[in-house]
Amino acid sequence: MKAILMLTFSFLLIISNSFGGNTKAFQIYTKSGNSIDFKKVVKQGATKKYIFFGEYHNNPISHWLQFELTKELHAVHKKKLVLGAEMFEADNQFILDEYLNDLISSKNFQNEVRLWPNYNTDYKPLVEYAKEHHLKFIATNIPRRYANMVYKKGINSLNDLSDLAKSYIVPLDKFTFDSTVTCYKDLMSAMDGHGGINMATAQAIKDATMAYFIQLNTTNKSVFLHYNGAYHSNNYQGIVHYLKKEVDENEILTIATVEQKDISKLEKGNKKIADFIICVPESMTKTH
């Protein structure tokens, strides 16, 4: 048995060396571009009240590290930890709660909630972890049909909704749109100038709604870990732009995901977009 283990180890060593130094799956950097390990992210994240994990939706490293960070923060905060995600819409909160509280089956849950196509591979592990450990999981996003109304008809179209429908959106009297914020300014000039203000406003109402439900579900004692596309929190904009209006920005920590051909050094354009940047090779396999 010892001989077999030695041969196996030798074989793995030969295989590893044959690939050279270009097969590293990821490298984490600070905003200034200094390389660090995952433990530093956990240590810093454990001191913050709002943690935003900006993912690439089809990136397996993003999803793996999301799960690992969830476990680590849960070990620190126990039931004070609250989870939330862009991938779940606010009007599905009661169905999500029914599943988390073991009132309905997984089949009913998956049939009745508007799940993303990559739910089973990428988000189900997070929901199941919350279910197993009795953690709150908040559906933070605006129902997509209402964001689509804004895109097609403008923000004032939401005024015609019922009070129930409006309860799934940031209060409209609190919503403001700032066209000078870079992420919205870029959308307005997207598609050769055909993006338009409605596209940017639809994005903003998503961000404002997510910020609203994050704050609404955070108490003095709780800590909120939010999963979202990196675009929604990069450069401390998007959701963070709206949340900073209501909370101390020093309580916020952001994590971004980027892809580079060479991950041995963080490219200039990827610096300062978040407190921590997970750099993944462009050749990394996709989850969908």
92 domain-assigned:
yes
pLDDT of 13 > 60? The answer is: no
282 three-class SS: coil
Q: How far is CA 84 from CA 57, 140, 157, 286, in A?
A: 15, 6, 27, 23
In 3D space, the residue among 233, 216, 232 whose CA is nearest the CA of residue 224 turns out to be 216
Number of domains in the chain: 1
What CATH number does the domain containing 92 carry?
3.40.50.11550
56 domain-assigned:
yes
143 domain-assigned:
yes
277 domain-assigned:
yes
3 three-class SS: helix
Distance CA 29, CA 10 (A): 32
pLDDT at 22: 62
- What is the sign of the dihedral through the CA atoms of 277, 278, 283 and 288? negative
pLDDT by residue (tens digit) across 79-125? 999 999 999 999 999 999 999 999 999 999 999 999 999 999 999 99
pLDDT by residue (tens digit) across 28-42? 999 999 999 999 999
114 domain-assigned:
yes
182 domain-assigned:
yes
pLDDT at 190: 76
Domain encompassing residue 87: 26-281
19 domain-assigned:
no
* Average pLDDT for 156-165: 98
4 domain-assigned:
no
